Amino acid sequence: MTYFATSLSVVWLAGLLFLIGRTLNFIRLVYNKFVISKTRWRDRNFFRFYFLSFRFLTDASAIDPASLTEVGRQYRDGAIRNERILRA
């Protein structure tokens, strides 16, 4: 029984680590796809820090889709979807 509980814990932690890495990768890809003519540093909601929840760097929904390219918008949607899966 101990081996079963340990293996379930290891599988759960491995899945959690995978989702955390995927979330960080999506956020990185979103930050690389800003439109050049838009200024993104004036937005006060650009960085939202949540110390007591599962928000690691930023909230992807806080990024304005108008300041992203089309590929950036797709990455933003993927990041939002991945954050919802991670919270569940």
pLDDT in tens, 13-69: 999 899 888 888 888 888 888 777 655 544 555 455 444 444 555 677 777 888 888
CA proximity to 27, closest of 68, 88, 87: 68
What is the pLDDT, as a whole number, of residue 50?
A: 46
- Does the predicted TM-score (pTM) go above 0.75? no
What is the span of the domain harbouring residue 52? 2-87
Q: What whole-number distance in Å separates Cα of residue 25 and Cα of residue 77? A: 13
Q: What is the pLDDT of residue 37?
A: 67
Residue 2 has pLDDT above 80, yes or no: yes
Residue that wins the pLDDT comparison between 39 and 75 = 75
Both tokens of 9, joined, read: 């814990």
Domain count, the chain: 1
